């Protein structure tokens, strides 16, 4: 789970062979990380486009000069952080994104790491009986409009009922063929289709705990200029909120919308 890649300048156009090695590392490790990058928002977008069409967040606006990039900001007075629960991005949509890219613009003197969990490895480590029981189950997922937001984040209010999306609880990765436990925290993944939320909760809570067991995870410590990229089809992530009184600014792009079925 996770790998650092060295010797690449992401401000430059990458030849197909280099990009191919990067993409294969992403498939192999779930999340990959680059240190000491100096890139503009336009250069970050150019790199992200190599992974597919850019996906615009339905409720968060991007930079005025580069709308494909939206800043994730936790200011010194903010108490909550975006992404502070284990999740996979955009699961409340019918076509979740293939990859998420995060570039560190301003980091606190301590804390602010991100945790990653490999949900394909977690599936491999289930018992045969559990795998058989999960086969064919579907979940209902919906945007959590009641979740507290950092004041510095410009998240639009969702006045109407948010759309619902149905996804398999175990999906098959389109490129690796591996099976993956596919779910979010309770505010997004509401229940198993055909069961009530109360009936679903024990199984979903078990899987949520199982995916993030230490042997399935890695932790990345950001520095200014670090860039992380993860396979949203395989990996869950969690932003740690342990740097009270300090500011943190990240530039995020999601790319490659892909149906989960």
Active site residues: 87, 89, 237, 252
Q: How far apart are CA 226 and CA 103, in angstroms?
A: 6
Q: Are the C-beta atoms of residues 187 and 146 closer than 8 Å to each other?
A: yes
Q: How far apart are CA 68 and CA 170, in angstroms?
A: 30
The pair phi, psi for residue 29, each rounded to 5°, is -115, -10
Q: How far apart are CA 6 and CA 59, in angstroms?
A: 35
Burial of 110 (0-12, 13-18, 19+ CB in 10 A): exposed
The pair phi, psi for residue 108, each rounded to 5°, is -75, 165
Element (H, E) at 74: strand 70-74
**Cβ–Cβ contacts within 10 Å for residue 261, how many?**
11
Q: Which two tokens stand for residue 113?
A: 């790491």
């Amino acid at each position: 789970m996770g790998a650092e890649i060295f010797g690449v300048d992401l401000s430059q156009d990458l030849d197909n062979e280099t990009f191919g090695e990067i993409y294969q590392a992403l498939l192999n490790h779930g999340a990959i990380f680059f240190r000491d990058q100096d890139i503009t928002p336009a250069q970050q977008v150019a790199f992200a486009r190599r992974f597919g069409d850019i996906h615009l967040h339905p409720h968060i606006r991007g930079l005025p000069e580069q709308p494909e990039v939206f800043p994730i900001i936790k200011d010194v007075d903010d108490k909550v952080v975006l992404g502070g629960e284990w999740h996979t991005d955009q699961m409340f949509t019918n076509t979740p994104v293939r990859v998420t890219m995060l570039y560190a613009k301003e980091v606190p003197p301590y804390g602010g790491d991100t945790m990653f969990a490999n949900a394909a490895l977690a599936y491999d480590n289930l018992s045969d009986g559990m795998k058989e029981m999960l086969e064919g189950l579907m979940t209902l997922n919906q945007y959590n409009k009641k979740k507290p937001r950092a004041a510095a984040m410009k998240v639009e209010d969702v006045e109407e009922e948010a759309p619902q999306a149905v996804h398999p609880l175990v999906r098959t990765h389109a490129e690796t063929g591996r099976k993956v436990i596919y779910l979010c925290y309770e505010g997004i993944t509401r229940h198993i289709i055909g069961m009530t939320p109360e009936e679903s909760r024990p199984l979903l809570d078990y899987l949520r705990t199982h995916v993030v067991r230490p042997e399935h995870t890695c932790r990345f410590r950001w520095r200014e200029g670090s860039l992380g990229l993860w396979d949203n089809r395989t990996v869950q992530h969690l932003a740690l909120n342990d740097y009270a009184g300090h500011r943190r600014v990240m530039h995020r792009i999601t790319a490659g919308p892909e149906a989960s079925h």
